[in-house]
Amino acid sequence: MDDKQKPQTIAQKILACHCGRDHVSEGEIINADVDIVLGNDITLPIAIEEFNKIGTGKVFDRDKIVVVPDHFAPNKDIKSAQQCKFMREFAREQDIKNYFEIGKMGIEHALLPELGLVLPGNLIVGADSHTCTYGALGAASTGVGSTDVAVAMATGKLWFMIPRTIKFMYSGDLRKWITGKDLILHTIGLIGVEGALYKSMEFSGSAVSKLSMDSRFTMSNMAIEAGGKFGIFEVDEITEEFLKFRSDGNYKIFRSDPDAEYEKIYNIDCSDIKLQVAAPHLPSNAKNAEDLKDINIDQVVIGSCTNGRMEDLKISAEILKGKKVDKNIRVIIIPATQNIYLEALKKGYIETFINSGCVVSTPTCGPCLGGYMGVLAEGERAVSTTNRNFVGRMGHPGSEVYLSGPAVAAASAIAGRIATPEEVI
């Protein structure tokens, strides 16, 4: 069969559309138009320097550049203040419409979907590896280097190699407390941290169709932890409901052809999946939480671009309500955006957290990357709802990070060790 007649996956269709073609072939290199270019306070300053060298003077479209200082903001020190100042001045000079700082900002990968800036069928690049989050909306989104972002800001285009696609079919009923975090940790544990290297991960199946958007964002967010280029969900009624008040409906939905070719198809029975924890020092080191009950901890972090949304705070509050965190540990809770923070306040979750002995922070990526607001000392262990547990990820190289969903994190906060909700409620 001629390549131009071959059935296409979602990823292929989006990339083909963005280079003005009907079909593209796996392994082919294309030059595609991008819909959104994203940068933060760690990566964008480098991109700005490279952009200035290109010499175009102006960004290709001021409405398609998104700038979010969220990693070290509110500024933790002089260097981070200088970084943010540099970005702020660039945004003003270029008249960037979508610039979000303190008071308006959130963690970038929660903020952009909340504001309706990323939509189905979009092609999105960002100088942050977890840009793949937006695949939950049926978009092709991926992290790139700062130099690539500079080129994209100048030209509105970027090169891509057409990836092969791996399909993950989730069936069965989810057990109580199980969320997308448990599904994706189980999946990464199944295929390994390079199991989807430069592949598009396509999430599907009857169990997925019941997942909240919050859980879907979590799964797409961690596609990169398996090496994935994209982590894509097909648009359905739940997606459309999420977009109802965030979009005018001016977007294009792409679906994989029924006979599209996949590199591999995994069939996963969710009824077999228990609460998961990824032990140090890889996200693929997934284990059942109940098998790690002898691991004492020093800190719990609930938040990040992976698990700082309303679903995560609701589950955490349900478990923590009327309880106290263990006297020997610190618990940091970070709503991912100002709107999430405000909604959690209205629902009484913030009061529950503070009464339990937690600290609640303004939106920031801080502790996830060992930046601030929760850096670990030598020998300390944390349970965290973030996305990486590499050596030294959250602080000292001699510390340890155990990744989990909100249910295990909240239960562990009460127990002072890795625990499940059934043990503390």
- Return the residue matching tokens 């922070």: 361
Average pLDDT over every residue of 258-277:
96
Determine the pLDDT at residue 2: 53
* pLDDT tens digits for range 153-194: 999 999 999 999 999 999 999 999 999 999 999 999 999 999
Tell me: pLDDT of 353 over 80. Answer: yes
Determine the pLDDT at residue 4: 61
pLDDT band with cut points at 50, 70 and 90 for residue 137 = very high
Give yes or no for a cis peptide into 281 (omega within 30° of 0).
yes
Tell me: pLDDT of 28 over 70. Answer: yes
pLDDT band with cut points at 50, 70 and 90 for residue 3 = low
Determine the pLDDT at residue 128: 93
Determine the pLDDT at residue 408: 98
Go through the domains of the chain in sequence order and give each one's CATH number.
1-273 (3.30.499.10), 276-424 (3.30.499.10)
Determine the pLDDT at residue 1: 47
Determine the pLDDT at residue 375: 94
pLDDT band with cut points at 50, 70 and 90 for residue 29 = very high
Tell me: pLDDT of 309 over 70. Answer: yes
pLDDT band with cut points at 50, 70 and 90 for residue 368 = confident
Tell me: pLDDT of 73 over 90. Answer: no
* pLDDT tens digits for range 75-92: 899 999 999 999 999 999
Average pLDDT over every residue of 192-205:
96
* pLDDT tens digits for range 212-244: 999 999 999 999 999 999 999 999 999 999 999
Instruction: Say if pTM beats, i.e. exceeds, 0.75.
Output: yes
